[in-house]
Structure formats: structure tokens, C-alpha cells
Amino acid sequence: TASNDGMAKVWSVEEGAQKQAFAHEGAVNSAVFSGDNEVVLTASDDKTAKLWRLQDGCCVQSFTGHESEVNAATLSVNKAMVLTGGYDGCAKLWRAEGGTWSCEQTFEGRGELKVVAISPDSALAMTANECGEACLWGSGDGVRRWLLPHGQGALYAASFLADGALVLTAGGAPQRETAKLWSV
């Protein structure tokens, strides 16, 4: 769970007991597990995202460089890329090379970013904002490939489906929320 108290917590499903706790200096806006359940990636109002090892609760990487709160963060399938998205409309793509992480791309969008995603093949990075737009960016060159105009209101969900050939977005104005499926 992610919380306004600056903590992300991992719970045992069977016992309902807390197993791990990870601290930030601001509210934690998102927390996601890697596909192999070895690490958790958190995003926070303290302008950072952090990668935590589940085995011992150690922070193995802190991603700094955003000028405002980090609302969302995600990992690539192979855990070699991290995408973070901020309140200021900027997303940052981080890559691991030989154990060292560096920011390789900055995607500047419009409006507060609510959701970020990386395609299964890591070729595309997706940002979704409060303006109802999802953007797909080339992860290698940073060029915007597609703008998916969902409509009025913020997007609160966006993900790649199957092999990455489809994108699902969901959101909209209050009481007019919709989900859309896009072929990319």
C-alpha cells in the first residue's frame, strides 16, 4: 500500500500482517512490484522514486531529478528501465547499465501526469495526464509516436495489453468516465 504518511507497506495476504515498510520524506503516491516480486518501486511527493529490495527492505536506488512531486513510477519487464512521472508534466526514463542508473530521456508533456507505463518490449514509454491525453514515446530516441486523446477529464489508468499492440486508457470527467482500447 502507498500512503500519505510517507510509508509504503507490503502485507501478507494470508495473515493480513505487515511484512515490510519503506519510508519516504513525503506522501507515497504509488508502489508497484516487479514481475518477479524481488523489488518494489515507490513514487513520492518528496520528488523521488525509490527501488527497494524485498528480501531485506534495503533501498537499492533513489531516482532524483524531478522538480515536483513524483505521482507514478513503473519498471520494465526485465527491470533494466524505470519510468517516473511528475506533477509538473515531466516523465523521466532511467536505464541501468552495469549496475549504475542514469536518466536517459525526459518527456515533457502537458498537465500533471497520473500514470506511466513501459511496453512489454521496452520500445515505448507511455504517459497519461490530467488533461485526458495518453502519449506514447520512443524509449530509445524520446520522440512522441502517438497522442491518444481520451477526452475531457483526467486519465487514471493506462496500460499496454498483450504484446504491446494495444493500449487501454480509462478516465474522464466525473460521471462520464470511459475506457478506450487503442491499436498502436
Residuewise pLDDT in 10s, the chain (184 residues)? 999 999 999 999 999 999 999 999 999 999 999 999 999 999 999 999 999 999 999 999 999 999 999 999 999 999 999 999 999 999 999 999 888 999 999 999 889 999 999 999 999 999 999 999 999 999 999 999 999 999 888 999 999 997 899 999 999 888 789 999 999 9
In order of 10, 44, 48, 56, 82, the CA distances from 68 in angstroms are: 26, 10, 9, 29, 17
Q: Whole-angstrom distance between the N-terminal and C-terminal Cα of the chain? A: 32
Task: Please state, in angstroms and rounded to a whole number, the distance separating the CA atoms of residues 31 and 10.
Answer: 9
Q: Count other C-beta atoms under 10 Å from residue 165's C-beta.
A: 12
Query: Would you say the pTM of this structure is higher than 0.75?
Result: yes
Order of strands, sheet of 124-129, starting from the edge strand that comes earlier in the sequence: 113-118, 124-129, 133-138, 144-149
Alpha-carbon distance of 118 to 120, in angstroms, equals: 7
Specify the DSSP class assigned to residue 6.
Answer: S
CB 81 within 8 A of CB 95: yes
Rounded to whole angstroms, what are the CA distances from 157 to 57, 130, 136?
28, 11, 14
| Encoded amino acid at 148, one letter | L
Q: Which residues pair with 91 in a beta bridge?
A: 85, 107
